[in-house]
Amino acid sequence: MSIKKGDTVSWTSHGRGSSVQREGVVEAVIPAGKLPSAEHLKAVSKTGAQPRKSESYVIHVSAGPDSRSKGKLYWPNTSFIKAL
The pLDDT assigned to 2 comes to 84
The pLDDT assigned to 28 comes to 95
The pLDDT assigned to 63 comes to 84
What's the N-to-C CA distance of the chain in angstroms? 12
pLDDT at 1 over 70: no
3-state secondary structure of 27: strand
The pLDDT assigned to 47 comes to 65
The residue type of 37 is S
pLDDT at 19 over 70: yes
How many CB atoms are located within 10 Å of the residue 65 CB?
Answer: 5
Global pTM?
0.86
d(CA 56, CA 35): 9
Q: What is the mean pLDDT of residues 68-82?
A: 89
- Which candidate, 72, 81, 84, places its Cα nearest to that of 30? 81
Q: What is the pLDDT of residues 24-66, one digit of tens each?
A: 999 999 999 999 998 888 888 766 789 999 999 999 999 877 7
Q: Which is it for the CA torsion 73, 52, 21, 29, positive or negative?
A: positive
